[in-house]
Structure 1
Amino acid sequence: MNSLSHLASLVSGYDPDALPVAQAQHLIGQFVTPVTAVEKLALRSALDRVLADDLVSPIDVPPHDNSAMDGYALRGADLHATQPVTLTVAATVLAGGGFQGTLGAGECVRIMTGAPMPAGCDTVVPQELTQDASETAVTIPPGAVKPGDNRRRQGEDLQAGKPALRAGKILRPADLGLIASLGIAEVPVYRRLRVAFFSTGDELRSIGEPLDPGCIYDSNRYTLYGMLARLGCEVIDMGVVKDEPAALEAAFRSACENADAVITSGGVSVGDADYTKQMMATLGEVAFWKIAIRPGRPMAFGRIASNGRSAYLFGLPGNPVAVMVAFYFFARDALLRMMGAYAEPLPRLQAVSQAPIRKKPGRTEYQRGMLSAGADGRATVRITGSQGSGILRSMSEANCMVVLHHEQGTVNAGDLVEVVPFDGLL
């Protein structure tokens, strides 16, 4: 495995005091590796798990040509473009049944949705488009359908012997239905990723403890818990750790001995206790970066080890909004990669800014916004008030993140900006 320092040395113009967002994301992505342990789960237990092997379809789906409508199955050659055609109804075919005979010219069958298409039939006319229907005959108006309409072909959804789902797919509700349609009861998935997290700071108190003068309640563990649980990780909450060498060393060692990844909040900013950084570096290879970003400039990343076990470390800032920004734009993709998942990039949309947004070139900014539709139907966005990194309300009220890129300057009202919707993310 490449060392972090080696990977960093390959980055053109690498500057740990002003690392662009894209470079930090690339380095993290190159450094982490997926888990390899696999388990088989019953289908209903596999929701939101990561598929470990390609799932090959044992059958065609659908297994035969079938009707997409309730109506009449017929030969397309019997249709006429300019005049009605009256056909003899030879039989009725229900879903789960079939027609074993052979239709002659001018004949059709009454057919239900999902029923197998009789031999020789290639078209279905929906019953609502027919005329003068009786048990023995039906009239098809000219132009009601075209030959081949409303027929589902055998294997048009899935073909036997071909992959139905690829390894790395996070199994969603539609995937469970697809797997069930193949008659597969168990699927191989990667084991859950174990992530330990804790907050550092003498001023932090947990919910239920008295709030002494100068102290605050720890909110970061609850947002981290929610983000990790939403991602599908097995979470280990280690509480609040004091800024003391012995306590920090014990926490780091316990975390990396019991988890695949460790996430901390606080303790990586300029002015924080030196022994926090020293402790991280003593236990492994950790880079402390000043990323060209707002909010969330200070961040630590690397790998730590204790008693033969190792874990990746994400040292996030202490301010609540900075924690969430750093998690979603640095840790999230890395954790998905560790889970064995292939993760599509976060969806990004273009929206019209309703007001000017001040911005200096030379750093990437993530501002919280409200995305909506304007009077003309175009997407518009406005910033949710004060954007301080400690104002968690700005995240709670927002429904998107406005991404202002590294070289971008001040945005004028009416300019297009890039936004990342929260729906499905938060």
Structure 2
Amino acid sequence: MNRPLKSLDDALAELLAHAVPPTATQAVSTFDADGRVLAQDCVSALHVPPQDNSSMDGYAVRRADVPAAGRVLPVSQRIAAGSAGEPLQSGTAARIFTGAPVPEGADAILMQEDCEALADQGSVRINAVPQPGQWIRRAGEDITRGAVVLARGSRLSPAELGLAASIGLHVLQVARRPRVALFSTGDELVMPGEVPPEQMRPGAIYNSNRFFLRAMLQRLGCEVTDLGIVPDRRDATVQALRSASADHDLILTSGGVSVGEEDHIKPAVESLGRLDLWQIAMKPGKPFAYGQIPRAEGAAHFMGLPGNPVSSFLTFALLVRPFVLRLQGVQDVAPRSIAARADFSWPKADKRREFLRVRHNAAGGLDLFANQSSGVLTSAAWGHGVVDNPAGQTIASGDTVRFIAFSELLE
């Protein structure tokens, strides 16, 4: 009996319901926190900037002292960044530099291009009438004291690290990295470097999935244990799963999630725990498996991806990636999409939701890779992303389509 196809959205919702982040957290240096996920809010203990400061090299003045251009004022002090000036005397100007605190009493800054230092260097001619607050950065303009600068669950990028440092945080509390065990199944698989191409036996193929899956996991901040290629035997598969479940949060496999006689993942997982085999209404990437293997404390998650490389690549990007992010406490796990113009035709609708590999062209539209087979990994290397095409939908050249960049799916 054929199983009903599960929608991608339903499959993802079911997966995310199981993705409970571990309670353990780590304190790491802000220098080393790129890509990590915050386990607690970052709250500012100060204003940024901490006081009014100049955004220009120039002169600080009282506007009342410069009613018209051409006014000459004596220079009463010099204020550099990192120093504090004296209150500005009425009828004088202060030489000031970018980032320096604005002296008490000054209410505008004139950039040096609008001023003329006179020969004696003791006075300055102001050649423009200042506006209220001109070129003054106000205290707290960027961040106010008590504000939540970065929220729990934020994934840290270089900009966020700089923001954390700007409020004085040299250590950040982050989620523990997910521990993932990775292995492939299939006696047909050969590792590059083990056998040269001219000596490959009939039916053998190089294991490409292992390389991109490991790289994608590492980009997501996982600690990856690579268990290599497990032979197509029930006992070997059971042993690999039992060993991996003891100290990993997730076990990820590629291949062997069908129901053929040589596909041992299903009975092996079921002998240790539970397994759901799903037929996802997506193309490529129909077969997918999720289960759990109990251990001393809780259970290890299991995910089985299809063996065809593009199917494996896209099911990881659309199902495993959001699951792994949610395990770290990230709430917004959906990839962002944009509207784009299709410069191609796709006249035959499919009953499944399709992900078509495309790339940008010089005219601002999208070109389609000629061969959309699930085994053609060239399409993923060539493309800039995918068109998320709904089930039953044809595409005519010039249509607006939903485009998801690979940068969103590999982030």
Settle same-fold status: TM greater than 0.5: yes
Q: What SS is found at the alignment partner of 2:212?
A: helix
Count residues in correspondence. 404
Question: In the alignment, does 2:399 pair up with 1:412?
Answer: no
Q: How far did 1:285 drift?
A: 2.9
Which of 49, 53, 59 does residue 66 from structure 1 map onto?
53
Q: How far did 1:388 drift?
A: 0.7
Q: What SS is found at the alignment partner of 1:267?
A: coil
Task: Provide closer, same or farther for how the CA distance between residues 199 and 274 of structure 1 changes in structure 2, counting only shifts above 3 A.
Answer: closer
Which position in structure 1 is the counterpart of 2:345? 356
Q: Is the 8 A contact 1:197 1:262 kept in 2?
A: yes
Question: In the alignment, does 2:234 pair up with 1:234?
Answer: no
Q: What SS is found at the alignment partner of 1:146?
A: coil
Question: In the alignment, does 2:401 pair up with 1:423?
Answer: no
Which position in structure 2 is the counterpart of 1:101? 87
Deviations 1:167-214 (A, max 9, x none): 112222122222222232222111111111111112112223333221
Which position in structure 1 is the counterpart of 2:235? 246
Q: How far did 1:215 drift?
A: 1.0
Which position in structure 2 is the counterpart of 1:26? 13
Deviates more, 1:359-368 or 1:321-330: 359-368
Which of 162, 177, 187 does residue 147 from structure 2 map onto?
162
Q: Is the 8 A contact 1:256 1:309 kept in 2?
A: no
Which of 31, 34, 40 does residue 27 from structure 2 map onto?
40
Which of 159, 176, 189 does residue 174 from structure 2 map onto?
189
TM-score by length of 2: 0.92
Q: What SS is found at the alignment partner of 1:418?
A: strand
Q: How far did 1:307 drift?
A: 5.0
Q: Is the 8 A contact 2:325 2:333 kept in 1?
A: no
Task: Provide closer, same or farther for how the CA distance between residues 416 and 207 of structure 1 changes in structure 2, counting only shifts above 3 A.
Answer: same
The residue type paired with residue 192 of structure 2 is I
Deviations 1:368-408 (A, max 9, x none): 1112442xxxx31111221111111111111111111235x
Question: In the alignment, does 2:382 pair up with 1:393?
Answer: no
Which of 157, 162, 167 does residue 172 from structure 1 map onto?
157
Q: What SS is found at the alignment partner of 2:304?
A: strand
Which of 181, 203, 213 does residue 214 from structure 1 map onto?
203
Which position in structure 2 is the counterpart of 1:129? 114
Task: Provide closer, same or farther for how the CA distance between residues 417 and 100 of structure 1 changes in structure 2, counting only shifts above 3 A.
Answer: same
Q: Is the 8 A contact 1:20 1:406 kept in 2?
A: no
Which of 286, 293, 299 does residue 310 from structure 1 map onto?
299
Task: Provide closer, same or farther for how the CA distance between residues 344 and 290 of structure 1 changes in structure 2, counting only shifts above 3 A.
Answer: closer
Which of 118, 133, 136 does residue 103 from structure 2 map onto?
118
Which of 337, 347, 355 does residue 326 from structure 2 map onto?
337
Q: What SS is found at the alignment partner of 2:98?
A: coil
Q: How far did 1:289 drift?
A: 0.9
The residue type paired with residue 14 of structure 2 is L
Q: How far did 1:341 drift?
A: 2.4
| CA–CA separation in structure 2 for the residues paired with 1:347 and 1:29 | 18
Q: Is the 8 A contact 1:257 1:309 kept in 2?
A: no
Task: Provide closer, same or farther for how the CA distance between residues 290 and 414 of structure 1 changes in structure 2, counting only shifts above 3 A.
Answer: same
Which position in structure 2 is the counterpart of 1:7? none
Which of 267, 274, 286 does residue 285 from structure 1 map onto?
274
Task: Provide closer, same or farther for how the CA distance between residues 31 and 107 of structure 1 changes in structure 2, counting only shifts above 3 A.
Answer: same
Q: What SS is found at the alignment partner of 1:41?
A: strand
Q: What SS is found at the alignment partner of 2:227?
A: strand
Q: Is the 8 A contact 2:250 2:302 kept in 1?
A: yes
| CA–CA separation in structure 2 for the residues paired with 1:345 and 1:125 | 47
Q: Is the 8 A contact 1:253 1:305 kept in 2?
A: no
Q: What SS is found at the alignment partner of 2:236?
A: helix
Task: Provide closer, same or farther for how the CA distance between residues 289 and 76 of structure 1 changes in structure 2, counting only shifts above 3 A.
Answer: farther
Structure 1: 5+ residue stretches without partners: 1-14
Q: How far did 1:153 drift?
A: 1.2
Q: What SS is found at the alignment partner of 1:366?
A: strand
TM-score by length of 1: 0.89
The residue type paired with residue 269 of structure 1 is S
| CA–CA separation in structure 2 for the residues paired with 1:404 and 1:75 | 62
| CA–CA separation in structure 2 for the residues paired with 1:258 and 1:232 | 17
Q: Is the 8 A contact 1:243 1:276 kept in 2?
A: no
Task: Provide closer, same or farther for how the CA distance between residues 103 and 342 of structure 1 changes in structure 2, counting only shifts above 3 A.
Answer: farther
Question: In the alignment, does 2:74 pair up with 1:88?
Answer: yes
| CA–CA separation in structure 2 for the residues paired with 1:102 and 1:114 | 17
| CA–CA separation in structure 2 for the residues paired with 1:285 and 1:421 | 35
Q: Is the 8 A contact 2:88 2:94 kept in 1?
A: no
Q: What SS is found at the alignment partner of 2:124?
A: strand
Q: How far did 1:108 drift?
A: 2.0
| CA–CA separation in structure 1 for the residues paired with 2:181 and 2:403 | 30
Q: What SS is found at the alignment partner of 1:326?
A: helix
Which of 22, 37, 44 does residue 57 from structure 1 map onto?
44
CA RMSD of aligned residues (A): 2.1
Q: How far did 1:38 drift?
A: 1.1
Q: Is the 8 A contact 1:88 1:138 kept in 2?
A: yes
| CA–CA separation in structure 1 for the residues paired with 2:114 and 2:334 | 45
Q: Is the 8 A contact 2:39 2:329 kept in 1?
A: yes
Task: Provide closer, same or farther for how the CA distance between residues 294 and 136 of structure 1 changes in structure 2, counting only shifts above 3 A.
Answer: same
Structure 2: 5+ residue stretches without partners: none
| CA–CA separation in structure 1 for the residues paired with 2:3 and 2:92 | 78
Q: What SS is found at the alignment partner of 1:288?
A: strand
Q: What SS is found at the alignment partner of 1:423?
A: helix
